[in-house]
Amino acid sequence: MTSLSLKGIRKSYGTLPVIKGVDLTIDSREFVVFVGPSGCGKSTLLRMIAGLESITAGDLEIGGKRMNDVDPSKRGIAMVFQSYALYPHMTVRDNMGFALRFAGKPKDEIARQVAEAARILELGPLLDRLPGQLSGGQRQRVAIGRAIVRHPDVFLFDEPLSNLDAELRVHMRIELARLHRELQATIIYVTHDQVEAMTLADKIVVLREGEVSQVGTPLQLYDDPDNLFVAGFIGSPKMNFLAGEVVDSGAGSATIALVNHGGVRLTKPLGGRLPQKGERITIGIRPEHFGEAGEGTDIVLNVDVAEHLGSTTYVYANAGGEQLIIEREERHMGDTDTLAVSISPEAALLFDSAGKRLR
C-alpha cells in the first residue's frame, strides 16, 4: 500500500480560490476522513487527488511520485462516488470488470478478479443483474466492488453513504470498517457526517472554506479541538458555547465571568497565552461534561424539553438567551422547570474572540 502527500495544494476557478493551500500527509493503510460543512472543498480536494480536477498549484505525490498531471487511471487510485456511478446498461459483472477490460487484462483474469470481489462483498447472486434491479445498499456494494477489482493503492470514497437510509448507513459503515481491516488499504473518505468520520477514521481532516482547520485522531479532535469551528463541528450533540468575559488574568490562569448567567465566575488554569482583562471569551463544554450543582461553577437553566433515550437523557435548556444541551444519566428527569448544573474548569474549553483555543 501507498502513502500520499499534499504540499501547498491550491485550486481556483478563475479568480475564485476554493482550496487555499492544503498540506497533508497520509500514511500507508491509513483511513483518513475529510469532513466539513457543504462547500468547504472536501469533495474538490478528493477529486484533485483522483485527477478529476486539475491542481492550480502545489504538489500531489502518491507513493513518492508527483501525480499532478498524471491520468486518473494511472494514479493507482479507485473511486466510489456518491451516486455510485454504475454504468446503467451493464450487468454487475460487467460493471466490475469494465476497468480491467480497458486495462487489457485477459478474460479469465477479469473473471477471477470479479469473482474474488463478489465473494468479499457477497455479491455472487447479483452478478447478472443490472444496476436498476438492485437496492441502494447493493448498488453501493457493487460500486465498492468495482473499486476493489482494480487493486488500487488508494481508495477514494466521495460521500458514499449519503444516499442510503439511516439503518443501511450504519450497516454499510460497519462493512466499510471491516473492508478496511481486510484489505489493509489506504482510504480517503469524504463525508459531511461527523458520526461517520468519528466511527471510521484513523485520522480526521476537518476542512473549512478550503483550508484545513485541524488534523488529528477522532478523540484528539473531540477532546482537544484547536478552534471553535472544530469544537462545534465534531460531536453529536454539539458542544455548548457560553459567552464569557475575562475579569482577571495572570499567574497561569484566567477568571471568566459568564455574562449570560449572572456573572458567575470560572477560573481556568492556562499554560499558553493569557487573555487580556475585559477580553470576550467563548467557553465550550460538552453535554456530558456538566456536573452536579456544587461541583464547580454553578448555573441554573430553564428546561425546555427532556429527551429520554433509554441509556441517557438529553435536556434542552436555556438561560440568558443561550440554548444548551445537557446529558444526564438519570432515566427520568421528572417535570422539573429548572436545572442546576456545574461547569468544572477541567471540562471547560476556552476560545478567544477569533475562535482560537486558549490552552
Size of the site for another protein (CB under 8 A): 25
> By C-beta, is 158 or 175 nearer to another protein?
158
C-alpha grid cell, residue 221: 479532535
> By C-beta, is 118 or 256 nearer to another protein?
118
Q: How far is the CB of 26 from another protein (least distance, A)?
A: 18
Select the residue interacting with another protein from 11, 42, 47, 180 (CB under 8 A).
47
Tell me: does residue 272 bind another protein (CB under 8 A): no
Stretch of residues binding another protein (CB under 8 A), selected from 36-44, 71-79, 108-116, 315-323: 71-79
Tell me: does residue 321 bind another protein (CB under 8 A): no
Select the residue interacting with another protein from 30, 31, 32, 51 (CB under 8 A).
51
Tell me: does residue 83 bind another protein (CB under 8 A): yes
Q: What is the total residue count of the chain?
A: 359
Tell me: does residue 220 bind another protein (CB under 8 A): no
Give the integer Cα–Cα distance in Å for 7 and 23. 5
Give the integer Cα–Cα distance in Å for 89 and 76. 26
Query: How many helical (H) and strand (E) elements, i.e. helices and strands, does the chain have?
Result: 8, 21
Coil/strand/helix, residue 36:
coil
Rg (CA), the chain: 24
Give the x/- contact pattern for another protein in 139-158, rule: CB under 8 A. Answer: -------x------------
Tell me: does residue 85 bind another protein (CB under 8 A): yes
Select the residue interacting with another protein from 1, 29, 52, 333 (CB under 8 A).
52
Residues 86-105 that bind another protein (CB under 8 A): 86-89, 98-99, 102-103
Helix/strand/coil (H, E, C) string of 279-341?
CEEEEEECHHHCEECCCCEEEEEEEEEEEECCCCEEEEEEECCEEEEEEECCCCCCCCCEEEE
DSSP track, 118-173: HHHHT-GGGTTS-GGGS-HHHHHHHHHHHHHTT--SEEEEESTTTTS-HHHHHHHH
Judged by the rule CB under 8 A, the positions of this chain that interact with another protein are: 47, 50-52, 71-74, 77-79, 81-83, 85-89, 98-99, 102-103, 132, 146
